[in-house]
Amino acid sequence: MTSTSASSLTDTRRHPIAAYRAVRKLMQNREDTRQVFLLIDALRGKTTLRQLAKFRATAFGRTALAERRRLFDRLEDWDTLKALPAGTLGRAYYEFMASENLSAAGLAKVSTIPQSEDEQIWFRERGREMHDLLHIVTGYGRDPLGEASLVAFSYAQTGQLGFAVISLFAARRISQARPGQPIRRTIFEGYRRGRRAKWLWGADWETLLGRPVEEIRQQYGVPPADYYPKVIATLRQDDLLLAPQPATATPA
């Protein structure tokens, strides 16, 4: 383990100045995913330790820790995921990532998680790989409102303060850009869904990849969102109406 990795593992303090800088950069460019990791790191505190202890207390958690199975490897095996039946989580993940031109490797590349054999690092990596799987299970898209709602869901599941900060800032920014729309209610619904759902950070995702998405939602208590699909449909329609229209020929 490098000295940098060691210090990052033992430091349970929160760093508000670093968090503020990350938020500012993220608000300037929402595609700067690295700032999300920096923000979460700055406000992590002891949250990961508590989540890891909860994970280790489950039978699956103990097995997964002992085997050091890597969810990353399963998510990068696109040939296997593509061959899964339609409607399964793995197939839906493959289609989602391909349509968005994303990959687990791409997310890992911008991640701030250091390389180490430590249990905390393994657990943090697993949480990182889960993010796009949660997009599928929750039904939230990669648009700003969908990301903010998913981050609120993740805060409810983990207690990671960085998630709360991101969702609050996003709620303010999107509300200002889209007055009259229930943006804050939509994002808060994400939080409420996360509170009501079973703990997905402890799920056996490797097995769930072969299961139908609807079965997973029922098993973990993740019903369809109410606000998000309605609001996002309205926003997309507004964008379509406001977009420049192609010129049409007039009769001579």
d(CA 104, CA 86): 21
53 lies in a domain?
Answer: yes
171 lies in a domain?
Answer: yes
Q: What tens digit of pLDDT does each residue of 192-219 get? A: 999 999 999 999 999 999 999 999 999 9
d(CA 166, CA 65): 30
178: CB partners within 8 A, 6+ apart: 235
- pLDDT band per the 50, 70, 90 thresholds, residue 113: confident
17 lies in a domain?
Answer: no
CB 93, CB 132: distance < 8 Å:
yes
Report the pLDDT value the prediction gives residue 10, as an integer from 0 to 100.
58
56 lies in a domain?
Answer: yes
13 lies in a domain?
Answer: no
pTM above 0.75, yes or no: yes
243 lies in a domain?
Answer: no
pLDDT higher than threshold 50 for residue 103: yes
Q: What tens digit of pLDDT does each residue of 172-196 get? A: 999 999 999 999 999 999 999 999 9
What residue numbers bound the domain in which 154 lies?
48-235
d(CA 238, CA 155): 30
d(CA 95, CA 232): 20
27 lies in a domain?
Answer: no
Phi-psi region of 19 (alpha: psi -120 to 50; beta: other; left: phi over 0): alpha
d(CA 62, CA 55): 8
15 lies in a domain?
Answer: no
Number of Cβ within 10 Å of residue 207's Cβ equals 10
First to last CA, the chain: 77
11: CB partners within 8 A, 6+ apart: none
If one counts the domains in the chain, the total is 1
**pLDDT averaged over the chain?**
89
- pLDDT band per the 50, 70, 90 thresholds, residue 37: confident
| Amino acid identity at 210 | G
Helix ranges (H only) for 29-160 are 33-42, 47-56, 59-67, 71-76, 78-83, 89-100, 104-110, 119-138, 144-158
Report the pLDDT value the prediction gives residue 1, as an integer from 0 to 100.
37
Please tell me whether residue 212 adopts helix, strand or coil conformation: strand
d(CA 85, CA 212): 9
